[in-house]
Chain A
């Protein structure tokens, strides 16, 4: 069974330990601005929402990539950017309707969540269980996937 990141925003306190863990895991530095998971703050509702790539089935970013730089990790199902191949054209960043693949000026490449090869650092760092890595069946991302399908110009019939 492939696992997915499960996000329960109700448990999020907005501490950003996930963002630090993500940036450290990927770049060896505590730097939320380079985190691939972002916590959004809905100040007037008192709500914090961690948000990252859903690893959607028919990945927009992957389909749009002109140079085959985004591939599926067979073990985790993650859509992974191969930095060596990415030319930095940013087409994926406007193709992904979730806004979860982003250009990094420092590297001239794009970045997105790659599930850390199956041990997501954000989930390990979350002190409240707002981010967990669980069997894909149960994830609250189901709702987003439904929505993803709706966004998809490709129809359900194709799936």
Chain B
């Protein structure tokens, strides 16, 4: 049995390891398109900050991990899939046969359609190579303009600040991290990073980037305010890597459509991780969910099913954690809520807690300044624990969430 996994991020690596555990005899190939051992993008900010070297970003630390597990690493870029004959074709033209195929190709940064986005010293921050380039250019005192204050933009902010740059962030949305934080929370994060010396412009677009001698000039907003910059970092979000699937027959929406078993529309082809649109935990409808723990879960489930097991995703649940210059925020599930929730705000001390309910079940949460036991919020959401009397208590005092969890969740077993 030949298992091929395209993509060596967390979903691919976890899938490969799971397959090996379940099918000791199978052939397993793991394909990556960068000249690096499998590494984690989550670790890039720490690499950029200089806390770790490249090895510190590697998903597995021992040099022979994949060899000892009989996982064959291949460097190459897959051009297309010929599902009729169960083959993949590399850009080099070389073909490989598979019995089961997993697509875990992840996503790539969006390149916004802005004049000048292709100029030198305009970078995305997605790969280790990107990080190396930024590290070389982000010197103390450098003027850096960052396009986008989404998740990726926020997690590299600390690294840039630590490098001593003058940072300006321009975000199209009405607040920071609009896709994972409530308006209150986004505003609080903005206030925090501004106090730490980062200039933040929201509700504003970068309209053009121009060369200005050795430097760049960034035009902002309709009025065309200009910002001088030595370096521009584009962090405008990511899109699934699905272009190579044209003609494969694999059904694609925004990402690859999969069922709860991570099966695509084509037999023996599975998908996992950022590239997928899996059924949402609350809606059941296909949704993109480009986060690390989700990728690892999906990789495992896909592998179990490829090995002949029968595993199902409970539904893809959005969970996020951010550290913006020391302010830690998290959001879980349907944090936007459905109109039945409670919100605690302490502007002075940068603490925030929002819990959202449907009937007596927690469906979403957002926290700032909370680090202890926040995983229990996921536990409550994911187990759909009926809170009973604890719902009223939580609405009166949401800080009691851990007590509510202990009182209700283990009993739900």
Residues on A lying within 8 angstroms of B by beta carbon are 38, 40, 42, 49, 51, 58, 60, 63-64, 66-68, 85, 87-91, 93-103, 105, 143-144, 146-147, 150-151, 153-155, 157-158
Contacts and interface: CB of A to CB of B under 8 A. Distances in A.
Contacts of B309: 155, 157-158
B214 interface: no
Contact of B293 (A88, A91, A157): A91
Contacts of A157: 304, 309-311
B350 to A, nearest CB: 13
B42 A153 contact: no
Nearest to A49: B406
Given A97-B379, A99-B373, A158-B311, A147 B321 contact: no
10 contacts: A40-B402, A67-B59, A90-B371, A91-B292, A96-B375, A105-B328, A150-B412, A154-B311, A155-B312, A157-B309
Given A64-B292, A90-B321, A93-B321, A98 B42 contact: no
B58 interface: yes
Given A99-B373, A155-B312, A147 B410 contact: yes
Contact of A89 (B42, B296, B313): B42
Interface residues of B, number: 58
Contacts of A97: 375-376, 378-379, 382-383
Interface of B: 10, 14, 40-43, 45-46, 51-52, 56-61, 292-293, 296-297, 300-301, 304, 309-315, 319-321, 323, 326, 328, 330, 332, 371-379, 382-383, 402-403, 405-407, 409-410, 412-413
A72 B71 CA distance: 21
A20 to B, nearest CB: 17
A41 to B, nearest CB: 8
Contacts of A42: 403, 407
Given A68-B60, A99-B373, A157-B309, 5 more contacts: A67-B40, A67-B56, A89-B43, A154-B304, A157-B304
B319 A94 contact: yes
Nearest to A41: B403
A143 B410 contact: yes
Q: Which 4 A-B pairs have the closest CB atoms?
A: A99-B376, A147-B413, A66-B40, A97-B379
B310 A155 contact: yes
Contacts of B410: 143-144, 147
A108 B308 CA distance: 41
Contacts of A100: 373, 375
A146 B373 CA distance: 20
Nearest to B383: A151
A155 B371 contact: no
B310 to A, nearest CB: 5
A125 to B, nearest CB: 21
Contacts of A99: 372-377, 379, 402, 405
B162 to A, nearest CB: 12
Which one of B60, B304, B311, B402 has the highest number of Cβ atoms from chain A below 10 Å of its Cβ?
Answer: B311
Nearest to B51: A87
Contacts of A154: 297, 300-301, 304, 311
A51 B319 CA distance: 23
B263 to A, nearest CB: 14
A66 B382 contact: no
B372 to A, nearest CB: 5
A66 B59 contact: yes
B119 to A, nearest CB: 31
A159 B379 CA distance: 20
B293 A64 contact: yes
A19 to B, nearest CB: 13
A95 to B, nearest CB: 4
Contacts of B403: 40, 42
A64 B296 contact: yes
A93 B374 contact: yes
Contacts of B332: 94
A147 B372 CA distance: 21
Nearest to A47: B407
Given A95-B375, A102-B372, A146 B413 contact: yes
Contact of B296 (A51, A63, A101, A146): A63
Given A40-B406, A67-B56, A94 B371 contact: no
A42 B371 CA distance: 21
Contacts of A66: 10, 40-43, 59, 292
Contacts of B379: 97-99, 151
Contacts of A150: 383, 412-413
A81 B40 CA distance: 17
Contacts of B371: 90, 93, 102-103, 105
Contact of A67 (B43, B296, B313, B405): B43
